[in-house]
Amino acid sequence: MDIFLRYLQVFAVGGFVCLLGQLLINLTKMTSARILVTFLLIGCLLEAVGIFEPIEKFAGAGITVPIIGFGSNLVKGALKGFSEKGVLGILLGGLQAASAGVSSAILFGFLMAIIFKSRTKT
Amino acid sequence: MIDKQEYAKLVKEKSPKSREIKTLFFAFLIGGFICCIGEAVGDITKLIIPEVGKVTEGQITSCVMIFLGSLLTGIGIYDKIGKVAGAGSIVPITGFANSIVSPAMEYNREGVVLGVMSRMFVVAGPIIVSGVLASIFVGLVYWIISLF
């Protein structure tokens, strides 16, 4: 029952975030690139003011799987770098923390684009 | 009683709204479901490697989710999901993967370097640039605050 409740929380928060995105699309006709950038910056903001952690405790993957989690990771890394290595750490930390996402996106993106040649658009 | 014209006007007023509510519903449903898959990937990771830390678990989860997003885009399923899910398929990290693979595949015929390698960052480029800039900005703000 405990695990069911946890997944319900993940589902509710993750779904709610996506619903906000859809609401933004419906109201402003934003393209997907702008939606992604907007939510990434929301994630940076949530992390910067320290709201992200408590939401993550409650929702788990419901907030880390949306691109919000990626933005929060970048800021978390930059702040960690700053506390460990000073000003230079601000430059080092961000991409270090996000490296798993960026590198795997480049690797899998490249492989899939090579393997699956473009299909004619229907 | 309302006549035909009024009825047509009424339909026009009502129908886009109900369609919008439907898109919201599917965005919620599919977006939430994708997040649950992410949670499940994390749980499975913990089962296989019990001593995995929270940070590593998150990294493995995002790698797996990006792999799934790229694969589903490659075999053409993700775009079909996206037609129904809207933001439900864009906002999760799988949508980030989709935004990389989709243009790269489309411009595959222009060659590996100028087609695949450069086009993969049509959408991902702005995301990485804005994210890195924002993280540096927040870091600088914290630095300035720490001076006082």
Assembly ipTM: 0.90
pLDDT in tens, B103-122: 888 888 888 888 888 888 99
Residue ranges of domains in chain B: 4-106
Q: How far apart are CA B8 and CA B10, in angstroms?
A: 5
pLDDT in tens, B78-102: 999 998 888 999 999 999 999 999 9
Whether B142 shows a pLDDT value over 70: the answer reads: yes
- Taking CB atoms and an 8 Å cutoff, what residues of chain B touch A48? 138, 141
User: What does the pLDDT read at residue B134?
Assistant: 94
The answer to whether the Cβ–Cβ distance between A104 and B67 falls below 8 Å is yes
pLDDT in tens, B130-140: 999 999 999 99
Which segments in chain A show pLDDT lower than 70? 1, 118-122
- Token pair of A14, please? 């993750």
Closest listed residue to residue B55, CA positions, set A7, A100, A45: A100
- Taking CB atoms and an 8 Å cutoff, what residues of chain B touch A101? 59, 62-63, 66, 93, 96
Q: How far apart are CA B75 and CA B107, in angstroms?
A: 16
Q: Residues of A50-77 as b/e, b for ≥16 C-beta within 10 angstroms?
A: eebeebbeebbbbbbbbbbbbbbbbbbb
For the entire predicted model, the pTM comes to 0.87
User: What does the pLDDT read at residue B110?
Assistant: 84
Interface check A30 vs B, CB under 8 A = no
pLDDT in tens, B16-32: 666 778 888 999 999 99
Interface check B124 vs A, CB under 8 A = yes
Whether B44 shows a pLDDT value over 70: the answer reads: yes
User: What does the pLDDT read at residue B12?
Assistant: 66
The answer to whether the Cβ–Cβ distance between A70 and B34 falls below 8 Å is no
Name the B residues in 64-123 with CB < 8 Å from any A CB.
65-67, 70-71, 73-76, 85-88, 90-97, 99-101, 104-109, 112, 116-117, 120, 122-123
Whether B67 shows a pLDDT value over 70: the answer reads: yes
Interface test with B, best of A108, A117, A119, A121 (most B CBs within 10 A): A108
Interface check A112 vs B, CB under 8 A = yes
Closest listed residue to residue A43, CA positions, set A57, A33, A53: A53
